[in-house]
Amino acid sequence: MKEVNKEIALVTGGASGIGLSMGKRLAEAGMSVVLADIEVPILEEAVEELKGLGHKAMGVHCDVSDINSIEEMKTRIEEEFGHPKVVCLNAGVGFASSISEATLSDWEWVMGVNLWGVINGLHTFLPAIKEMGEGHIVITASIAGHISVPNLGPYNATKFAVVSIAETLRQELLAENSKVGVSCLCPGFVSTNIFDSERNRPENLLNSSADESTEEELLLREAFMEWISANAKQPAEVAELVYQAISDNKFWIFTDDQHLNGVKSRHSSIVSGDELPWPTPPLIDL
Ligand SMILES: NC(=O)c1ccc[n+]([C@@H]2O[C@H](COP(=O)([O-])OP(=O)(O)OC[C@H]3O[C@@H](n4cnc5c(N)ncnc54)[C@H](O)[C@@H]3O)[C@@H](O)[C@H]2O)c1
pLDDT tens readout for residues 4-22: 888 999 999 999 999 999 9
Q: How far is the CA of 271 from the centre of ligand 1 (A)?
A: 33
Picking from 58, 79, 78, 62, the residue whose alpha carbon sits closest to that of residue 70 is 62
User: pLDDT at position 13, please?
Assistant: 98
User: pLDDT at position 145, please?
Assistant: 96
| Overall average pLDDT of the 121-132 stretch | 98
Write down the mean pLDDT value for the chain: 94
| Overall average pLDDT of the 37-59 stretch | 98
- Residues 12 and 34: beta-carbon distance below 8 Å: no
| Overall average pLDDT of the 115-133 stretch | 98
Ligand 1 atom at minimum distance from 113 CA: 31
Spans of all domains in the chain: 8-201+210-272
Is the pLDDT at 138 greater than 60, yes or no? yes
Band of the pLDDT at 211, cuts 50, 70, 90? Answer: low
Pairing of strands 86-89, 135-140: parallel
Q: Which of 72, 200, 203, 237 to mutate to test the pocket of ligand 1 (most atoms within 8 A of CB)?
A: 200
Residue with CA closest to ligand 1 atom 32: 63
Q: How far is the CA of 127 from the centre of ligand 1 (A)?
A: 25
Q: Which of 87, 93, 227 to mutate to test the pocket of ligand 1 (most atoms within 8 A of CB)?
A: 93
Residue with CA closest to ligand 1 atom 36: 13
Picking from 207, 208, 196, 182, the residue whose alpha carbon sits closest to that of residue 121 is 182
Q: How far is the CA of 52 from the centre of ligand 1 (A)?
A: 24
User: pLDDT at position 284, please?
Assistant: 52
| Overall average pLDDT of the 110-125 stretch | 98
Residue with CA closest to ligand 1 atom 22: 13
Question: Alpha carbon 271 to chain centroid distance?
Answer: 29
- Burial label, 38 (beta-carbon count in 10 A; 0-12, 13-18, 19+): buried
Band of the pLDDT at 279, cuts 50, 70, 90? Answer: low
Picking from 285, 280, 283, the residue whose alpha carbon sits closest to that of residue 268 is 280
58-101 pLDDT, tens per residue? 999 999 999 999 999 999 999 999 999 999 999 999 999 999 99
Q: Which of 94-108, 199-213, 222-236, 241-255 has the lowest mean pLDDT?
A: 199-213
| Overall average pLDDT of the 231-260 stretch | 95
Ligand 1 atom at minimum distance from 185 CA: 7
Between 231 and 87, the higher pLDDT residue: 87
Band of the pLDDT at 278, cuts 50, 70, 90? Answer: confident
CA-to-CA dists, residue 32 to 4, 55, 181, 227, angstroms:
10, 7, 19, 36
Pocket of ligand 1 (CB under 6 A): 12-13, 15-19, 37-39, 62-65, 90-93, 113, 140, 142, 187, 189-190, 192-194, 197, 200
Is the pLDDT at 184 greater than 70, yes or no? yes
**CATH architecture for residues 8-201+210-272:** 3-Layer(aba) Sandwich (3.40)
Is the pLDDT at 135 greater than 70, yes or no? yes
Ligand 1 atom at minimum distance from 18 CA: 16
User: pLDDT at position 49, please?
Assistant: 97
